């Protein structure tokens, strides 16, 4: 399997301080020391927001290994960043705007006021496309008022570390709907290489109970020789909660993601658990929550909780840089298939996998991206295909049951 080139831009080691003997934040316009945040912008990508720790001691330094956010590029993305836009005189730039006060819920219709402290800018250069690890910036830089005005006290300073790293990925696609037992191919430009086949099945009795519950669904992933190398099974039925016609958070359906047991032929070894339910708000969403199952004392490790638009679908992903969940997983290796998130920690974590699916009633052909550092053999990729299939089928499993509810019995689930 040949990977495709991706580049990871990581922003980390964030910290904010006010130079001077007294370090009096109030005089510098920073009124909420523990409520500092920043918006990170890069042309063509969604804005990311993260907190910025306040550094109160002049000797203290932010964690050099912490990662606050990341962006990922393909060749086409880099080409767009390096090309001047219609309203831009130069290349795009990384822009980090720091605020005092973290944006939060409004009170009596009035939002929490945030004061802009300053801005850091870094222009996109040719070195971004060289595919090598390079530190673009590391250290303190003045961003506050008076940073370039002589004779005035220095303003706030921001500490950050901006780094580029190659982050190649394997890209796979289901060639048809998961329920139709499609072939799974690896995409390499315009070339499609068959890698796996997907076999969907359900219990015969399941069709009779479809109006009341969805259970007995199974997906097996087979390699080119026909051997089953991963699977996903519904272990907790998808059923409507009391007074509702949908699967609610209080009682989610669940899948068990398994791989062959190397010590016991014809047996399966648990690897992960995917829970799914429906959220009724302004727009219906399907929430998918994934736990990695560990044989150690840690038990279940929460790796991802993603909301997908029920109508349009979306992207399920596991990425320690894009979520509040910063799980440190001890890597475990095996001679045949690791099946583990090797070296997944705040230091070497980041992107693990993503799966793009369509919404309800649409022909979904899941597109899966997988970081190559988590794949030591074909079987490792197969387990993520089983997870992707479970995510896709959860959209179907969480659709409303359309049963009639008696008046007065409806309540929030």
CB–CB of 272/291 below 8 Å?
yes
Pair 114, 103: CB distance under 8 Å: yes
Question: What tens digit of pLDDT does each residue of 235-278 get?
Answer: 999 999 888 889 999 999 999 999 998 788 778 999 999 999 99
Domain ranges of the chain: 7-163, 169-397
Q: Which residues contact 272 (CB under 8 A, 6 or more apart)?
A: 256, 257, 290, 291, 292, 293, 303, 383, 387
pLDDT band at residue 115 using 50, 70 and 90 as cut-offs: confident
What stretches of 19-168 adopt beta strand conformation (E)? 36-41, 48-51, 67-73, 93-100, 115-123, 134-142, 157-166
Question: Whose CA is closest to 80, among 92, 94, 71?
Answer: 92
The first and second tokens of residue 84, run together, are 């001047």
- Dihedral sign for Cα atoms in the order 42, 45, 46, 51: negative
Distance CA 370, CA 328 (A): 19
Rounded-to-integer distance, Cα 125 and Cα 59, Å: 33
In terms of Cα–Cα distance, which of 241, 312, 314 is closest to 304? 314
Q: What CA–CA distance (Å, rounded) separates 395 from 189?
A: 29
The reported pLDDT for the residue numbered 303 is 92
Give the pLDDT score at 258.
96
CA dist 237 and 215 (Å) reads 5
Residue 320 binned pLDDT confidence (cut-offs 50, 70, 90)? confident
List of residues 6+ apart from 116 with CB closer than 8 A? 97, 98, 99
What counts of helices (H) and strands (E) characterise the chain?
2, 20
Q: Pick the more confident residue, 341 or 309.
A: 309
Condensed to tens digits (0 to 9), the pLDDT of residues 2-60 reads: 899 999 999 999 999 987 654 444 445 554 445 789 999 999 899 999 999 988 877 78
Question: How far is residue 242's CA from residue 405's CA, in Å, rounded to a whole number?
Answer: 10
Whether the per-residue pLDDT at 380 is higher than 50: the answer is yes
Sign of CA dihedral 185, 188, 189, 194: negative
What CATH fold (topology level) applies to the domain 7-163? Immunoglobulin-like (2.60.40)
Task: Characterize the bridge pairing of strands 300-309 and 93-100.
Answer: unpaired
pLDDT for 282: 74
Collapsing DSSP to helix, strand or coil, 241 comes out as coil
Using pLDDT thresholds of 50, 70 and 90, give the confidence band for residue 144.
confident
Predicted local confidence at residue 347, as pLDDT? 40
Q: Report, as an integer, the average pLDDT of 341-362.
A: 74
* pLDDT value at 162 more than 90: yes
CA gap 219, 222 in Å, rounded: 10
Q: What is the pLDDT of residues 186-211, one digit of tens each?
A: 998 889 999 999 999 998 766 666 66
Measured from the Cβ of residue 299, the count of other Cβ atoms closer than 10 Å reads: 10
Mean pLDDT score of the chain: 82
Q: Residue 262: which region, alpha, beta or left (left: phi > 0; alpha: psi -120 to 50)?
A: alpha
1 neighbors 170 (Cβ within 8 angstroms): yes
């Amino acid at each position: 399997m040949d990977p495709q080139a991706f580049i990871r831009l990581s922003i980390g080691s964030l910290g904010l301080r006010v130079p001077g003997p007294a370090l009096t934040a109030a005089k510098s316009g920073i009124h909420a020391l523990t409520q500092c945040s920043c918006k990170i912008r890069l042309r063509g990508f969604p804005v990311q927001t993260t907190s910025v720790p306040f550094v109160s001691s002049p000797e203290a330094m932010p964690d050099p290994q912490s990662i606050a956010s990341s962006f990922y590029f393909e060749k086409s993305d880099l080409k767009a960043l390096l090309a001047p836009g219609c309203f831009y005189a130069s290349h795009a730039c990384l822009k980090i705007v720091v605020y005092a006060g973290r944006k939060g819920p409004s009170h009596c219709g009035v939002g929490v006021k945030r004061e802009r402290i300053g801005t850091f800018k870094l222009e996109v250069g040719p070195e971004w496309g060289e595919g090598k690890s390079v530190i673009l910036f590391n250290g303190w830089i003045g961003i506050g008022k008076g940073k370039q005005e002589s004779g005035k006290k220095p303003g706030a300073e921001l500490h950050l570390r901006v780094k580029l790293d190659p982050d190649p990925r394997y890209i796979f696609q289901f060639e048809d709907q998961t329920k139709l037992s499609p072939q799974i191919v690896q995409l390499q430009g315009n070339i499609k290489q068959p890698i796996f086949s997907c076999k969907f099945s359900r219990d015969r009795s399941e069709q009779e109970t479809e109006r009341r519950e969805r259970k007995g669904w199974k997906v097996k992933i087979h390699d080119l020789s026909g051997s089953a190398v991963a699977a996903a099974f519904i272990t907790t039925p998808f059923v409507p909660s009391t007074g509702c016609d949908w699967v609610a958070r209080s009682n989610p359906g669940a899948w068990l993601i398994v791989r062959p047991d190397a010590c016991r032929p014809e047996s399966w070894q648990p690897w992960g658990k995917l829970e799914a339910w429906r959220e009724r708000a302004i727009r219906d969403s399907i929430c998918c929550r994934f736990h990695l199952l560990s044989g150690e004392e840690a038990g279940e490790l929460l790796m991802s909780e993603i909301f997908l638009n029920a109508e349009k679908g979306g992207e399920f992903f596991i990425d320690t840089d894009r979520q509040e969940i910063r799980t440190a997983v001890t890597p475990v290796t095996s001679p045949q298939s690791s099946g583990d998130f090797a070296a997944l920690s705040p230091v070497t974590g980041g992107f693990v996998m993503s799966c793009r699916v369509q919404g309800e009633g649409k022909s979904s052909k899941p597109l899966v991206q997988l970081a190559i550092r988590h794949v030591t053999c074909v079987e490792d990729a197969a387990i993520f295909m089983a997870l992707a299939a479970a995510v896709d089928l959860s959209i179907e499993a969480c659709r409303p049951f359309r049963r009639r509810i008696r008046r007065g019995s409806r309540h929030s689930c």
